[in-house]
Structure 1
Amino acid sequence: MKWSRKSINLSPYQLLILVFLACILLGSVFLKLPQATTESISWIDSVFTATSAMTVTGLIVVDTPQTFTVFGEVVILSLIQLGGLGIMSFAVLIYIMLGRKIGLKERIVIQQALNQTSLGGVVKLVKNLFVFSLIIELLGLLLLATRWVPIYGWEKGLYYSLFHSVSAFNNAGFALWSDSLTQYVGDPIINISISLLFIVGGIGFTVLMDVWKKHNFKQLSLHSKMMLFGTFITSIVAMFFVFVLEYDNPNTLGELTLPNKLWASYFQGVVPRTAGFNTIDITSLNESTAFFIIILMFIGAGSASTGGGIKLTTFMVIVFGVISFLKGQSEVVISNRSLSNTIVYRSLAISSIGMLFIIIAILIINITENTTFLVATFEVISAFGTVGLSMGLTFSLTFVGKIVIIFIMFLGKIGPLTLVFSLAQPKKKQIRFPNEDVLTG
């Protein structure tokens, strides 16, 4: 019997989620193999690790370098690459290699997977995505190799460089050291290479293609302008706040030299855009710094990028929407361009649905885990933003806690609207009703 998407009546959203879940399940099976680990791990830990890799989050319940063999690390790396560039992107590549035609239904699924607003040019975008990603990851490998090959030799040095280049570009945050990158807190090569990789990966492929083609900031699309400007401003502000708030903290920046304080502030300031690496002890952050990072993690990276969160442009649309309302304007205007109400409603829906799931998850974590409200909030939003930073709770999660974080990582990767639309009923013909005012505020 021949099966097709039409015969089982799956929407593009449902198909995307099912394929994603299938890859997580397959990855879990591979990570449970004796060849993948140095010691036996539970099924829940295997699923958690596979989900964290597939959603390019980086949260871990077992110590990656101590628990997994090279085979297990390669499985994790494969899941990171698959999750970062997108399952449907790889499917398109296979179709192209086989000489198959990409139909309308497949293009719709690709559109949803890459978070595009139109069907035009999605296949070309996927081709460019692969070429660009491979080039950037190769450049990252070469830069990191200049630091690690002299230390570890060619074989191990290149392997470490490849792993961290792919992990950084895909904003995964998995590292092959138990303390992440804390030993390189003041190392310019590691700080610059890793940060550039996850910043470029987090800006979004549509922005990168736009910059590549036009070269002139004024000619860029509004989305590209917002992403570049927003990324620059948030990075500067984040670095300043981390530097000021942690300057005298003896467990983070306090004992470092001034140059190393600046490197650590820069790195830890840009990491919450969903990268997940750390060069200082996250568990020792001041509460004010932790709360500021929570805000950054919730905002996240760019649309059609390897990062998570509600997305930077979503946050900016809401901010400009509030400003427009306070000015008494009837529409949202950014850079002399007006936004449709659909975009504003979509931004509000993404934020609201995301917040709803986050609140429920924090409530459950606070009930099931022996932790503080701040730490629970930090871990949940780190999972939602697919960031991977942890204040130490993830290692001690109960079974229920692991299930909650797994779901939130999955939600953060596929997006709140994708999940809701996959469960929603087919659209019905809309009926217009009489208007009536409601008192608000």
Structure 2
Amino acid sequence: MKKHKFNLDPPKLLVLGFAAVILIGALLLTLPVATEDGKGLSFINALFTATSATCVTGLVVVDTGDTFTMFGELVILSLIQIGGLGFMTFATFLFLLLGKRISLKDRLLLKEAVNHLSIAGVVRLVKRILLFTALIEMAGGIILSIRFSLDMPIGKAIYYGFFHAISNFNNAGFDLMGNFQSLTSYVGDPTVVLTISALITLGGLGFLVMNDLYEYRETRRLSLHSKVVIYTTLMLTIGAAIFIFLFEFGNVKTIEPLSIQGKVLGSLFQAVTPRTAGANTLPIGDLTHSTLFLTIILMFIGAGSGSTAGGIKITTLAVLAAAVWTQIRGKEDVVLFRRKIVMETILKALTVTVIGLFIVVTVTMILSITDRGHNFIMYLFEATSAFGTVGLSMGLTPELSLMGRIIIILTMFAGRVGPLTIALAITMRRKRDAFHYPEGKIMIG
């Protein structure tokens, strides 16, 4: 009798892999040794924290610095690193250390995990990803350790420096400052603000862009993907910083009491962190509604594809914006940097955006039912933050009901794994139609 080999395609394996890492992390956080009170977290809170860490989100139901022992904090940090790199990238690292051969199936999984266009050169890319990650986190950790040593003992400063470097490069936003204050005490500190902003931005560019920049000295050219990511990142960051500066200039609860340097640094960091880090130097609950709405938009967009960040991705935004501009101008071809964008890419961008909007709208509606008594913008902010794996919160997260926490857990998971990956994982592979229907016309607008 012929045996059927159990086999899963790459999208399903990626989804199951992330789920397995989260479950292991949750079980570790329930251990008594993980928390300061020696009782461990309840399973739902442990699952929430493990999901937030693995999905590099940063939403927390308990304060990280006040609740966990060093063991618990290191579990969270490990989940952040695995989640940021992707569990397949991490597994490949272990295979390379053990000298094992990377099979064709593993290469296919890696291609999906790092959003590479083909399996050619994917192992070399993974090696560079590991190198880039180590160098950037090391540099950030050293700078932050030196700065924190002015405020705390050297051993604690080194631990804090590297924890926050790893957390922010992976766009997780977990912090050890205590009392849910994040980095608000460093709002006007250029060393902390600029270093962490650089870590967040580099993590959000994506490893493909980093690799392109690394090879630029030899190739003297950047791929279309890298150009779109870099230019869109600069436009969104600079534009958002200017608007936030204007929106908050007269807000006595945020930047109004600060020096001009503090105002600029506070505005810059608030423009960078929704892309999708979760750390904050300004109190989120005290921001003006204009800034909160702009932050929601930035959280939904996210950062670059193949990065440590979430959201629909800035390449998706760029493709859709180019398609709209093409229609307005009455042109046929959608063009970015003198390159035609194929219809499949446009439809994929539209699909990701619509699925993302559906998730955010649905989660916002459910939270308004399960956790009544808050302003509507708090539900929308929380839902978008979870979907974009950002981690910013107006204070709703610790107050969530059991059902609310479950909903946010599922939203963070969907946001990290990706709406399109989940859609592919639960549906059959696309098949070419055997026949075509006659064309029909519908009035639009």
Shared fold (TM-score, shorter chain, > 0.5)? yes
Counterparts of 1:275 and 1:218 in 2: how far apart (Å)?
31
Counterparts of 1:382 and 1:292 in 2: how far apart (Å)?
12
**Equivalent residue letter for 2:366:** I
**Equivalent residue letter for 1:427:** R
2:256 corresponds to 1:258: no
Counterparts of 1:218 and 1:272 in 2: how far apart (Å)?
32
Give % identity: 45
Residue 436 of structure 1: aligned partner: 440
C-alpha contact 1:204 1:305 (8 A) present in aligned 2? yes
Write out aligned runs for 1:21-40 (5 A): 21-39=19-37, 40=39
Residues 240-269 of structure 1: CA deviation (Å, up to 9, x unaligned): 111100111111112222221111011111
Residue 406 of structure 2: aligned partner: 403
Residue 304 of structure 1: aligned partner: 306
Residues 302-355 of structure 1: CA deviation (Å, up to 9, x unaligned): 011100000001101000000011111112101111011111011000001111
Instruction: Between 98-107 and 361-370, report the one with greater CA deviation.
Output: 98-107
C-alpha contact 1:217 1:225 (8 A) present in aligned 2? no
Per-residue deviation at 1:89?
0.3
Write out aligned runs for 1:135-150 (5 A): 135-150=135-150
Residues 409-432 of structure 1: CA deviation (Å, up to 9, x unaligned): 111101000101111023334132
2:360 corresponds to 1:358: yes
2:328 corresponds to 1:326: yes
C-alpha contact 1:273 1:301 (8 A) present in aligned 2? yes
**Equivalent residue letter for 1:18:** L
SS at match of 1:174: coil
Counterparts of 2:272 and 2:219 in 1: how far apart (Å)?
22
Instruction: Between 216-225 and 337-346, report the one with greater CA deviation.
Output: 216-225
- Which of residues 2, 12, 15 is equivalent to 2:13? 15
Counterparts of 1:124 and 1:380 in 2: how far apart (Å)?
37
Residue 105 of structure 2: aligned partner: 105
**Equivalent residue letter for 1:389:** L
SS at match of 2:335: strand
Residue 204 of structure 2: aligned partner: 202
Residue 426 of structure 1: aligned partner: 429
Counterparts of 1:206 and 1:286 in 2: how far apart (Å)?
36
Residue 90 of structure 2: aligned partner: 90
SS at match of 1:118: coil
**Equivalent residue letter for 1:157:** A
Counterparts of 1:285 and 1:216 in 2: how far apart (Å)?
46
Per-residue deviation at 1:216?
8.8
Counterparts of 1:355 and 1:326 in 2: how far apart (Å)?
23
Counterparts of 1:82 and 1:29 in 2: how far apart (Å)?
16
- Structure 1: gaps of 5 or more residues: none
2:61 corresponds to 1:58: no
TM-score (normalised: structure 1): 0.97
Counterparts of 1:13 and 1:150 in 2: how far apart (Å)?
47
Residue 79 of structure 2: aligned partner: 79
Per-residue deviation at 1:438?
2.0
2:386 corresponds to 1:388: no
Residue 317 of structure 1: aligned partner: 319
- Which of residues 276, 291, 294 is equivalent to 1:292? 294
Write out aligned runs for 1:336-351 (5 A): 336-351=338-353
C-alpha contact 1:251 1:284 (8 A) present in aligned 2? yes
Counterparts of 1:230 and 1:310 in 2: how far apart (Å)?
14
Write out aligned runs for 1:169-318 (5 A): 169-178=169-178, 179-215=181-217, 219-318=221-320
Per-residue deviation at 1:118?
1.9
C-alpha contact 2:387 2:414 (8 A) present in aligned 1? yes
- Structure 2: gaps of 5 or more residues: none
Counterparts of 1:31 and 1:429 in 2: how far apart (Å)?
47
Counterparts of 2:139 and 2:53 in 1: how far apart (Å)?
22
Per-residue deviation at 1:217?
10
**Equivalent residue letter for 1:127:** K
C-alpha contact 2:34 2:72 (8 A) present in aligned 1? yes
Per-residue deviation at 1:85?
0.7
SS at match of 1:304: coil
C-alpha contact 2:359 2:387 (8 A) present in aligned 1? no
Per-residue deviation at 1:30?
0.6
SS at match of 1:219: coil
Counterparts of 1:115 and 1:405 in 2: how far apart (Å)?
25
C-alpha contact 1:365 1:401 (8 A) present in aligned 2? yes
TM-score (normalised: structure 2): 0.96
Residues 393-417 of structure 1: CA deviation (Å, up to 9, x unaligned): 1010001100111111111101000
Instruction: Between 257-266 and 166-175, report the one with greater CA deviation.
Output: 257-266
C-alpha contact 1:171 1:198 (8 A) present in aligned 2? yes
